[in-house]
A and B are shown apart, each in its own frame.
Chain A
Amino acid sequence: MIGILSYLIFFASVVLILGVACLGLNLQWGFTGLFNAGVVGFYAVGGYALAILTAPTNPLLLGNFGLPWIVGIVGAMIAAALVALLVGVATVRLRGDYLAIATFGVAVTIQLITLNWQALTGGSLGMTSIPRPFATHFESQLGYNAFLFGLIAVVTALVYFALERVLRSPWGRVLKAIREDETAAIALGKDARLFRLQAFVLGATIIGLAGALYVSFIGFVSPFDFLPIVTFQIWAMLIVGGSGNNRGALLGALIVWGLWSGSGVLISKVVPVAYQTQGAAVQSILIGLLLVVMLVLKPRGLIGEEPVVSRHVR
């Protein structure tokens, strides 16, 4: 019973963390039509920034400042925002494909840095014993995990309600206007580039926050937690749930992570150990097919975008 309960808490925590990343992507893709091909890059920047800022001092590593958790979280968001600014400024004035290519490049480069810059990131070994927030106040592991889940849920709720509010504001309406008809939006005096850049950076900041939550949740960081497949998983969540709808983003996170974990358990039980690589390939094929089939057959997702009218008009 305890086993099932602690697994459920673990599962729900991961769903919420990925859900936060999915909300960030939704701001970029769902509301603004910006294609981020390197979601995992921003997720990794957030995770690593938290680790570098909060991990206890280690003479072998450059970072590990042992700072408080909240500083780590804020630092993670700033780090992800800065990386987004670097590619955003270069690409907002160009065709949408360029942002896709540049973000893809960022993710590749960040993966190389996490693997190779031993002194900062710990290389392929990663970094361990990253302090988990408020862990010292708890005696039982289960109690702490439940608390951490609550903390993650609060952060998720904050992000969700903040986004809902922001997207119903004039700023949010401009984003949609740019997505639908950029020329018209510019003709009405809106600086499309500036708005796109803001939405991209804000979305990346949220994805960075999700990465930081993930690392504080598992207590260590390693390049193998930030593989390109994460980008596909988060996309699939958004497309399945319904891009342009924040509830859809969260629902998609639940469904896709459920399918992913479920198929993983099934494959590990059914497929012989010698063929585990092929088993993982089947999982990836399923994610890819899910993405393509949804895009072709049901582009709105399960709960698609809803028309939003300003509350002043009603």
Chain B
Amino acid sequence: MIGQAIADGILTGAIIALGAVGITLSLQILRFANFGHGDLLTLGAYGALAFTVAATAGTPIHPFSFGWQFLAAVVVAAIFGGLAAVLVDILVYGPLRKRGAYRLTMIFASFGVALVLRNLILLVWGPDLHYYSRTLQIAVEILPGVLVMPDQIFVLGLALLLVLLFYVLLRTTRIGIAMRAMAESPTLAGICGIETTKMIRLAWFISGAMAAIAGTFLGLTVQVRPEMGFNLLLGILTAAILGGTGSLFGAVAGGLLVGLAENVSVLVVPAGYKAAMPFLLLMLVLYVRPQGLFGSKEGA
């Protein structure tokens, strides 16, 4: 029982971690907690759905439930999610930044944007559940009594690979250095010749693309529905704070912890309260160690 819960926790945790990495980026570079991040996940999932409906999910490649078209759909969704995030920045956050709006006004606006996005999806696609593929998968017993779907292993591997790629981007490329400079001090970065607006747009694109990919993963392993991202938002935000804002691997560790807490809690408390676990973790971390597990004091 506990083994299965831990396996499930790690697998959902990987998706939360991917979301948390995106939100960490917005906390660092855009400097506010983007409450629309969950709905960017949903948008990505539906973008991929639109692609698979148009191009069909393809012949499944054994043992997975999807064919190569799904991989293309993930890429399409990532671009779609990234562009949507940039578009919102041009329409909403850009003008607010220009006015020098109070930072919490951005959060306020992000809630409004989230509401609009979520309901646009509901309007276009309706409230029903969708799946990328109807192919049945056979679960694999990786340890005695622990069953996982091949799709879940694929998702876990790809999520970790993406985080690693992002880490390499931040650490070794000029763009990465510019982004880290922006996180330290936008004014100073601007003085050093970094085009701050371009960097902000790039941060939005990456954040949106990561969210969209996390959304397709969630859609693949669970299902696609209009509230999927919004329901995950609290877990994602908790993961980012738990890990320590600004710490990439902290966000991953936070995501895994949130996933584990949710899935292991089911063994102790009624399943209806599973979604409250992130809140308990959040309260615990805020009271005990507000800078997060891997964060520095200044982050909080």
Which residues does A use to contact B, with CB under 8 Å? 33, 35, 37, 86-87, 90-91, 93-98, 100-102, 104-106, 108-109, 112-113, 115-116, 229, 232, 235, 239, 277-278, 281-282, 284-285, 287-289, 291-292, 295-296, 299
Q: Give chain B nearest CB distance to A190 CB in angstroms.
A: 20
Q: Which of B92, B126, B278 contacts A292 (CB 8 A)?
A: B92
In the complex the two chains form, is B112's CB within 8 Å of A292's CB? yes
In the complex the two chains form, is B286's CB within 8 Å of A91's CB? yes
In the complex the two chains form, is A285's CB within 8 Å of B115's CB? yes
In the complex the two chains form, is B234's CB within 8 Å of A104's CB? yes
In the complex the two chains form, is A285's CB within 8 Å of B275's CB? no
Query: Bound state CA distance, A134 and B72, in angstroms?
Result: 66
B276: chain A residues at CB < 8 Å are 108-109, 112-113
Q: Is B111 in contact with chain A by the CB < 8 A criterion? A: yes
Summed over the interface, the residue pairs from A and B with CB atoms below 8 Å come to a total of: 134
Query: Bound state CA distance, A299 and B99, in angstroms?
Result: 10
Q: Which of A101, A277, A299 contacts B101 (CB 8 A)?
A: A299
B44-52, B116-124, B148-156 - interface stretch: B116-124
In the complex the two chains form, is A104's CB within 8 Å of B290's CB? no
In the complex the two chains form, is A282's CB within 8 Å of B241's CB? no
Q: Which of A277, A288, A291 contacts B126 (CB 8 A)?
A: A277
Query: Bound state CA distance, A97 and B113, in angstroms?
Result: 17
Contact with A along B97-109 (1 / 0, CB 8 A): 0010111110111
In the complex the two chains form, is A94's CB within 8 Å of B115's CB? no
Chain A residue at minimal CB-CB distance from B286? A90
Q: Which of B27, B109, B123, B279 contacts A109 (CB 8 A)?
A: B279
In the complex the two chains form, is B113's CB within 8 Å of A288's CB? yes
Q: Which of B95, B105, B272 contacts A116 (CB 8 A)?
A: B272
Tell me what chain A mostly uses at the interface: helix, strand, loop, or mixed: helix
A98: chain B residues at CB < 8 Å are 241, 286, 290, 300
Query: Bound state CA distance, A101 and B127, in angstroms?
Result: 27
Contact of A284 with B275 at beta-carbon distance under 8 Å, contacts A100-B33, A100-B35, A100-B107 already known: no
Apart from A37-B111, A285-B123, list 7 A-B contacts with CB within 8 A. A102-B283, A102-B286, A104-B234, A104-B237, A232-B115, A277-B122, A281-B122
B35: chain A residues at CB < 8 Å are 37, 100, 104
A37: chain B residues at CB < 8 Å are 35, 107, 111
In the complex the two chains form, is B33's CB within 8 Å of A97's CB? yes
Query: Bound state CA distance, A284 and B127, in angstroms?
Result: 14
In the complex the two chains form, is B270's CB within 8 Å of A97's CB? no
A106: chain B residues at CB < 8 Å are 279
Q: Give chain B nearest CB distance to A98 CB in angstroms.
A: 7
CB within 8 Å of A: which B231-278 residues: 233-234, 237-238, 241, 270, 272-273, 275-276, 278
In the complex the two chains form, is B108's CB within 8 Å of A235's CB? yes
Q: Give chain A nearest CB distance to B284 CB in angstroms.
A: 9
Query: Bound state CA distance, A4 and B31, in angstroms?
Result: 50
Q: Give chain B nearest CB distance to A95 CB in angstroms.
A: 7
Contact with A along B278-292 (1 / 0, CB 8 A): 110011001100100
User: By CB atoms of chain A within 10 A, which of B102, B112, B122, B283 has the most?
Assistant: B112
B290: chain A residues at CB < 8 Å are 90, 93-94, 98
Query: Bound state CA distance, A33 and B105, in angstroms?
Result: 9
